Chains A and B, each alone.
Chain A
Amino acid sequence: MTVVNTFHGRPDDRGHFGLYGGRYVAETLMPLIYEVEKAYDEARADPAFAEEFARYLKHYVGRPSPIYFAERLTERYGGARVYFKRDELNHTGAHKINNTLGQILLARRMGKTRIIAETGAGQHGVATATVCALFGMQCVVYMGATDIARQSPNVFRMKLLGAEVRPVTAGTQTLKDAMNEALRDWVSNVHDTYYLIGTVAGPHPYPAMVRDFQSVIGQEVREQIVDLAGRLPDVLVACIGGGSNALGLFHPFLDDIAIRMIGVEAAGRGIATGEHCASLTAGKPGVLHGNRTYLLQTRDGQIRDGHSIAAGLDYPGVGPEHAWLRDSGRVEYVSVTDDEAMEAFQLCSRVEGIIPALEPAHALAHVGHVAGRLSQDDIIVMNMCGRGDKDVFTAAAHLGIEL
Chain B
Amino acid sequence: MSSDNRIVRRFTALAKERRGGLVTFITAGDPDLGTSMAILRGLPKAGADLIEIGMPFSDPMADGPAVQASSLRALKAGQTLKRTIGMVAALRSSDNETPIILMGYYNPIYVFGVKAFVAEARKAGVDGLIIVDLPPEECTELLAPARAAGIDLIFLVAPTTDDRRLPAVLSHARGFLYYVSITGVTGTASPAIGDVGDAVSRLRHHTKLPIAVGFGIRSPDQAAAVASLADACVVGSALVSRIADHLDDQGQPRPGLTRSVLAFVGELSRSVRAAGRTAPA
Residues of A that sit less than 8 Å from B by CB: 14, 22-32, 170-171, 176-177, 179-180, 183-184, 187-190, 284-290, 292, 295, 297, 299-303
Contact = CB atoms under 8 A, between A and B. Distances in A.
Given A25-B133, A26-B132, A190-B183, A31 B162 contact: yes
B57 A302 contact: yes
A22 B138 contact: yes
Interface in B153-190: 155-162, 165, 169, 180, 183-185, 188-189
Given A190-B183, A301-B107, A26 B62 contact: yes
A27 B156 contact: yes
B160 A288 contact: no
Q: Which among A22, A23, A170 has the highest number of chain B CB atoms within 10 Å?
A: A170
A184 B180 contact: no
B111 A301 contact: yes
A171 B69 CA distance: 8
A30 B158 CA distance: 10
A24 B59 contact: no
Contact of B106 (A287, A297, A303): A287
Nearest to B215: A28
Q: Which among A28, A187, A290 has the highest number of chain B CB atoms within 10 Å?
A: A28
A299 B112 CA distance: 8
Contact of A300 (B80, B162, B183, B185): B80
B107 A187 contact: no
Given A26-B132, A32-B160, A302-B75, A288 B169 contact: no
B61 A28 contact: no
Interface residues of B, number: 43
Closest 8 CB pairs of A and B: A301-B111, A301-B108, A28-B158, A302-B58, A27-B156, A26-B62, A188-B184, A180-B61
A180 B59 contact: yes
Interface string B103-139: 0011111111000000000000000000011110110
Contacts of A285: 110
Nearest to B109: A301
Interface of B: 57-62, 64-65, 68, 72, 75, 80-81, 105-112, 132-135, 137-138, 155-162, 165, 169, 180, 183-185, 188-189
A183 B155 contact: no
Given A170-B68, A187-B183, A297-B111, A24 B57 contact: no
Contact of B58 (A22, A189, A303): A303
Contacts of B62: 26, 28, 183-184, 187
A171 B107 contact: no
A297 B105 CA distance: 14
A188 B61 CA distance: 12
A283 B180 CA distance: 34
Given A28-B161, A183-B62, 14 more contacts: A24-B133, A27-B157, A27-B158, A27-B161, A27-B169, A28-B183, A31-B160, A184-B185, A188-B189, A286-B110, A287-B107, A299-B111, A302-B57, A302-B58
A26 B185 CA distance: 10
Nearest to B79: A300
A177 B135 CA distance: 22
A187 B138 CA distance: 19
A279 B107 CA distance: 15
B184 A300 contact: no
A325 to B, nearest CB: 21
A28 B111 CA distance: 25
Nearest to A30: B135
A23 B107 contact: no
B61 A184 contact: yes
Contacts of A24: 106, 133-135, 138
B262 to A, nearest CB: 28
Given A188-B184, A297-B107, A27 B59 contact: no
Contacts of B134: 24
A121 to B, nearest CB: 20
B59 A303 contact: yes
Contact of A27 (B60, B155, B185, B188): B155
B163 to A, nearest CB: 11
A183 B185 CA distance: 10
Given A171-B72, A188-B188, A26 B156 contact: yes
24 contacts: A22-B137, A24-B133, A24-B138, A27-B156, A27-B169, A30-B160, A30-B165, A31-B165, A32-B160, A171-B68, A171-B72, A179-B61, A183-B62, A188-B183, A188-B184, A188-B189, A190-B160, A286-B107, A287-B106, A292-B110, A300-B112, A301-B112, A302-B108, A303-B59
A284 B111 contact: yes
A183 to B, nearest CB: 5
Nearest to A29: B160
Given A14-B137, A190-B183, A301 B110 contact: yes
Contact of A23 (B57, B68, B137, B189): B137
A331 B58 CA distance: 30
A30 B183 CA distance: 12
A299 B137 CA distance: 26
B59 A176 contact: yes
A29 B135 CA distance: 10
Contacts of A295: 107
A190 B185 CA distance: 12
B111 A187 contact: no
A188 B185 contact: yes
Contacts of A176: 59
